[in-house]
């Protein structure tokens, strides 16, 4: 099943970095997800508001899922990985 989504041209530089971090660390299934509070770690000048907007954008594009464990977790859609990789390569991120 191919994922039909709109072009994610509205992502900011910080949101691109969060997306790259999730892909690089392999957060691509419910068993390998990250706490939403941890998305900010290691990235300067990223606010909680930006993270919430990023998560909404990813969910709207079909690129990610939010799940409830003890805390709220997030992971990338495994079926969208090729599309995410292409997007990040076009932005100049090393993969």
CB atoms within 10 A of CB 15: 19
Cβ-based neighbours of 52, under 8 Å, separated by 6 or more: none
Quote the domain boundaries for residue 25.
13-91
* Total domains, the chain: 1
Q: Is residue 58 part of a domain?
A: yes
Burial of 42 (0-12, 13-18, 19+ CB in 10 A): exposed
pLDDT of res. 5: 52
pLDDT of res. 1: 47
Q: Is residue 45 part of a domain?
A: yes
Mean pLDDT, consecutive 10-residue segments, the chain of 95 residues? 55 91 93 92 88 93 91 94 94 88
pLDDT of res. 43: 87
Task: Return the CATH number at 28.
Answer: 1.10.10.10
pLDDT of res. 81: 95
Q: Is residue 30 part of a domain?
A: yes
Closest by Cα among 25, 13, 14 to 73:
25
Q: Is residue 6 part of a domain?
A: no
- 23: its two tokens: 């892909």
pLDDT of res. 18: 93
CA dist., res. 6 & res. 94, Å (int)? 23
Cβ atoms of residues 46 and 14 within 8 Å: yes
């Amino acid at each position: 099943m191919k994922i039909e989504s709109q072009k994610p041209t509205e992502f900011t530089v910080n949101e691109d970095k969060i997306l790259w971090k999730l892909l690089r660390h392999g957060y691509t299934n419910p068993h390998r997800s990250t706490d939403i509070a941890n998305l900010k770690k290691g990235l300067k000048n990223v606010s909680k508001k930006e993270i919430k907007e990023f998560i909404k954008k990813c969910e709207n594009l079909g690129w990610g899922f939010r799940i409830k464990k003890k805390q709220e977790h997030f992971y990338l859609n495994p079926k969208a990985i090729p599309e995410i990789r292409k997007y990040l390569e076009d932005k100049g991120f090393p993969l």
